[in-house]
Structure 1
Amino acid sequence: MHNQFSPKALGVPHQTVGEPTVQNALATSLTLDSQLCFALYTASLAMTKAYKAVLERFDLTYPQYLAMLVLWEHDELSVKDLAARLGLDSATLTPILKRLETVGYVRRVRGVLDERLVLIHLTEAGKSLKLSAAFLPTYINEVAGRPLSDLQRLRDELHDLKASLAGRVRM
């Protein structure tokens, strides 16, 4: 039976396990700290934690803040478009929007011609929140303790990585 995870199936050039290069690769490639995915995961957790303390002042969670960022760019978006922009499905986004509506930052309005369409609008409180939260990027840059140019380069590299993966992996 063909193993879908064999080196050949994954496009890895054939080498014998006894060869030094393969032994070295096996010794280091399957350690937790050598994994890019783990570095990204733990960095994401740390970043979310840095945001959490300050977002509580605004009665926001990190996912709610991300939704607000998109809405500050484009007031009046459909749930479908907002979900696509955030990389979420509608079922995941709905409770986020319900909470934002409960605290008074957004309102949801059904489409006039198509009631299946739900549009998200910022309220005055939601628009005002943008001014109150304007310090957040600078605050996070300071908390990160890295030069701004390093953080911008890292962000750009992560966008490139995401685009590269999206072109190769079904998302």
Structure 2
Amino acid sequence: MESAEKNKLFSDIVVRYSEKLYWTIRRIVLNHDDANDVMQNVFVKAWNNLEQFQERSKIYTWLYRIAINESLDFLRRKRDFVAYDTDLSDGVGSRLIADEYFDGDATQALLQEAIATLPDVQRIVFNLRYFEEMKYSDMSHLLNTSEGALKASYHIAVKKIHDYIVGK
């Protein structure tokens, strides 16, 4: 692939998928600046591997897989950096309300706080299904797991979120 062709293709990809990828990442890492950092890493990785993309999957599936992996890597690094007994989900609601990029209300902040208490995989499945309205078949391909396991993860996540909110 020639340089000009690669630049044009990549530019089109960035324009088309930036917003959706940002919100997918943001729902995982929760912070605007962290989401931008992770998204930059996603696009660097995509750029470096664009010529190896074999079109066995859709481009957005490939990008989402990179985004989810980068988001999880970010969270792992953050947990390794923070003291092991610190709960990263603690105070998410109040931090979101104070975030200039958060345009929700207290109810939406409480929902995000409840989502933040979920294990990483359940949080990702919940976010992809609830916010992205992604089909289980697409998630199955994206996350390399069965549709049944994804449905179970989603329903467990919904119950945990419900229990958390009712408990508040």
Q: TM-score range by the shorter chain?
A: under 0.3
Specify which structure has the higher proportion of strand. Answer: 1
Give the alignment's TM-score, normalised by structure 2: 0.28
Give the alignment's TM-score, normalised by structure 1: 0.27
Q: Which has the higher contact order (CA 8 A, sep 6+)?
A: 2
